Amino acid sequence: MISISDLKFHYPKSEFRFTIPEFAVSSGEKLAVVGPSGSGKTTLLNLLAGILTPDHGKVQVGEVAVSDLGDAGRRDFRISNIGFVFQDFELLDYLSIFDNILHPYRITGALKLTAEVRQRADHLAEQMGIAEHLKKPPGELSQGEKQRAAICRALLPNPSLILADEATGNLDPANKTRILDLLFKSVEDHDATLVAVTHDHELLPRFDRVVDFQTFQKGGGL
């Protein structure tokens, strides 16, 4: 599902350097990525999503070499195939929660907004426990409720790859379990793959594999 080879990346005007000789994730795998802040975990997700492009090397998701696509191609591929749960939610303040969940369908022709999609959005919101907040702006929701809205948006297109950056970081224990159950169910129902950055080590036994980025940066490999 995911293949990275001979990758090098750096941020301009920064001493941060990121190197991945080889990295692979199987289709249907649920992978947790752990490690200290600044080790490159979020950078990895952004490279997989095509938000960032490597200085050198190849990033492939499924049959598509994401690193070879242009800006528009990476955007359309990301919206159509990748569900990204951002650490800071990326909700738009001027839209209702329902319109935030539907937003990917309104910014590209790669997705078609239908009555079935709207029904699925309603169902996801109900599963997440935020159905009563759909008409509200994000500013009226708690951090945990915003997180759940962001997860609804990521799952709505039934993506083949789910990238989650601290998806349970703002949730209480009961909702952490609910969210992880829904993420795992989406993976299983749609033969998708999950790559989740987390600091919550209590959740790690539920994943198929754990990658420690601190070990990797010291030469342990992925």
Q: What is the pLDDT of residue 215?
A: 67
CA distance 42 to 38: 9
Q: What is the pLDDT of residue 216?
A: 58
Q: What is the pLDDT of residue 209?
A: 96
Nearest Cα to Cα of residue 157 among 192, 201, 202, 200 = 192
* CATH code (residue 126): 3.40.50.300
State whether the Cα torsion 78-79-82-85 is positive or negative: positive
Q: Three-class SS of residue 133?
A: helix
Q: What is the pLDDT of residue 220?
A: 45
Q: How many CB atoms lie within 10 A of CB 199?
A: 13
Q: Three-class SS of residue 179?
A: helix
CA distance 29 to 31: 6
The pair of structure tokens assigned to 94 is: 């001027």
Task: Count up the domains in the chain and report the number.
Answer: 1
CA distance 85 to 5: 25
The kind and range of the H/E element at 56 are strand 56-61
Q: What is the pLDDT of residue 221?
A: 47
Averaged over successive runs of 10 residues, the pLDDT of the chain (222 residues) comes to 93 87 93 90 94 95 94 92 90 97 90 96 93 97 90 93 87 81 84 92 93 65 49
Half-sphere exposure of 98 (CA within 13 A, CB side): 15
The pair of structure tokens assigned to 54 is: 């490597």
Domain that holds residue 44: 2-220
